[in-house]
Amino acid sequence: MDLLIKNICCIGAGYVGGPTMAVIADKCPEIKVNVVDINKERIESWNSFDLDRLPVYEPGLDKIIERCRGRNLNFSNNIAHTIASADMIFISVNTPTKKKGLGAGQASDLKWVEASARQVAKYAKGHTIVVEKSTLPVKTAKVIQNILKTSKQNSNKNEPTFEVLSNPEFLAEGTAIKDLELPDRVLIGGENKHAIDALSSIYEKWVPKQKILHTNIWSSEMAKLTANAFLAQRISSINSISALCEKTGAEVKEVAHAIGTDSRIGKKFLSAGPGFGGSCFKKDILNLVYLYKYYGLDEAADYWSGVLKINNWQKKRIANYVIDKLNGTVSDKKITILGFSFKANTNDTRESPSIDICLDLLEEGAILSIHDPKVDENQIRLEFEERNFKNDTKWTFNSKIDENFQDSHAVIILTEWDQYSDLDWFKIEKLMLKPAWVFDTRMILNLDTIKKSNINFWRLGKIINENKLTPN
Ligand code: NAD
Ligand code: UGA
């Protein structure tokens, strides 16, 4: 059997499909990589001449798109034709939590994965390797295999054949290109040696062979969910410690550093913050919880639910802390929000802690002035509307950062964008109403500078003795 892959199709041009395929195209100029999507606007943006208009912001992505687009990387809505000419198809579509029906609020909604499998079954020709790139509940490969098998039996075209592999993606947003170019590992789950070798040979163009792990297909699906659950668990653990630090005089940054030097614990993923966001941690843990319940393993379901419970509590307690420090009321008070993306270096706002914290303050009557270097006003509106908050008169967005501080009672740093770490607080202080407050939920501000200003300052995970209550 010919192992050489010449034509790749990726279904789904999102945060994973776009950057992943761009890197494959860059590293394998001999392979044609075609990314397809049902969303016309998204494809138009991927094809935009203005690289600032790419639908995904990732450092380094624009350069790769510039190099490869039109050479061996193409974006289109031509799904049927692209599937027909591919010898390997990546399914990289969204797998959000189900909103209604059986398992609503926990199970992953696999309708986009199923639809992709049906498109593959309908249009594929010859022998096609189908690769699960999306994060999926364990056993989904069986669903895909069944769709492909059944359609084959019903079809009268020239009998395509399929192999299904699992190849979950571990990139993090904001560092996607680095993660794809220098991955800790590439995971391939499957049984068929030819198919596994074909996929491995693509990664071997730039990833050392010993970093390409092979497992059975269920272990691969399970490992992806487990990795995200463990990462989220670490964040909830350190966030729970941050609250105790604030009561006792310990400093969470120092505690994290002290425990992180233990090589068994390791130093990564120990930054306390306003709670984890992003499209995946919550949905993947909910999915695990659903699987545990499905198999009657309720104690384990409760254990992992606890990680989400702490995450919600962290967001809530930050909003409550701000309200408390502003004399128990934020009604009609202007508050400046710095950062709306769920982490720095991405324009993604899905499940951003900023959403819940802003909505809690809006609910209390605050008037918000929001800034983010990569998120636009429309995206913020969509997030608020999604949570049924539709009052546009209570918040504004201003991309000119300095204009957000005028007459503000408080500033809350919610995303760790670099530019927020060295703001001129002496200048800002003059614009704000007194007593002025800064709440740093990302622990990025220079304490020496802020302490010299007349602004009251709170840092997550640390007791601060505020006494600068100078009235206006
Ligand atoms: P996304 O929503 O950004 O992109 C998914 C795309 O798939 C959308 O553009 C959508 O229009 C398209 N799509 C849906 N159904 C389609 C169909 N039938 N035919 C063609 N296109 C279709 O999602 P994402 O963030 O890229 O995530 C994709 C998957 O990867 C999810 O399972 C996610 O859990 C997983 N994942 C995401 C990340 C991340 O950082 N975002 C990292 C690792 C894994
Ligand atoms: C995460 C994982 O890191 C990726 O390996 C995985 O592929 C991806 O989910 C996925 O499956 O979607 P991502 O959500 O893009 O990546 O970003 P992270 O860096 O993991 O951050 C997630 C959230 O946790 C952010 O809100 C971030 O601010 C927060 N975080 C992260 C902390 O609060 N503290 C930390 O120490 C690290």
Q: How many angstroms separate the alpha carbon of residue 219 from the centre of ligand 2?
A: 22
Of the candidates 210, 341, 233, the one whose C-alpha atom is nearest the C-alpha of residue 281 is 233
Ligand nearest to the CA of 256: 2
Q: Is-contact 329 323, C-beta < 8 A? A: yes
What is the per-residue pLDDT for 468?
61
Q: What is the mean pLDDT of the chain?
A: 95
- What type of residue is 110? L
Residue closest to 275 by CA, chosen among 317, 304, 217: 317
280 a catalytic residue: yes
* Ligand 1 pocket test target in 93, 286, 382 with most atoms within 8 Å of CB: 93
Confidence of residue 108 (pLDDT cuts 50, 70, 90): very high
Report the sign of the C-alpha dihedral through residues 271, 272, 276, 277, in that order.
negative
CA-to-CA distance for 243 and 272, rounded, in angstroms?
10
Q: Could you say which of 9, 10, 68, 280 is catalytic?
A: 280
Find out whether the beta carbon of 169 lies less than 6 Å from any atom of ligand 2.
Answer: yes
pLDDT in tens, 154-209: 555 568 999 999 999 999 999 999 999 999 999 999 999 999 999 999 999 999 99
Query: Which one-letter DSSP state was computed for residue 98?
Result: P
Mean pLDDT throughout 283-299?
97
Read off the DSSP letter of residue 314. Answer: H
Give residue 451's pLDDT band: very low, low, confident or very high (50, 70, 90): confident
Q: Is the CB of 270 under 6 A from ligand 2?
A: yes
Q: Are 427 and 400 in contact (CB under 8 A)?
A: no
- What three-state secondary structure class fits 410? strand
Q: What is the rounded CA–CA span in Å between residue 99 and residue 94? A: 14
Confidence of residue 472 (pLDDT cuts 50, 70, 90): very low
**114 Cβ partners below 8 Å, 6+ apart?**
143, 147
Atom of ligand 2 at shortest distance to CA of 270? 36
How is the beta sheet containing 127-132 ordered, strand by strand?
73-76, 32-36, 7-11, 88-91, 127-132, 161-166, 186-189, 212-215
Cis bond leading into 55, ω under 30°?
no
Q: In the structure, what pLDDT confidence band is assigned to residue 152 with cuts at 50, 70 and 90?
A: low
How does pLDDT run across 257-287, given as a tens digit for each residue? 999 999 999 999 999 999 999 999 999 999 9
124 in Cβ contact with 160 (< 8 Å): yes
Locus of tokens 């990546």: 90
Geometric angle at alpha carbon 149, from 147 and 152, rounded to 5°: 105
Whole-prediction pTM value? Answer: 0.96
Which pLDDT belongs to residue 154? 53
Question: Does 231 sit in the ligand 2 pocket, CB within 6 Å?
Answer: yes
Amino acid (one-letter) located at 280: C
**Farthest CA pair distance, the chain:** 82
Q: 170 CB under 6 A from ligand 2?
A: yes
pLDDT at 471: 41
Tell whether the model's pLDDT for residue 457 goes beyond 70.
yes
Q: Whose CA is nearest to atom 2 of ligand 1?
A: 94
Q: What token pair was written down for 187?
A: 């995971």
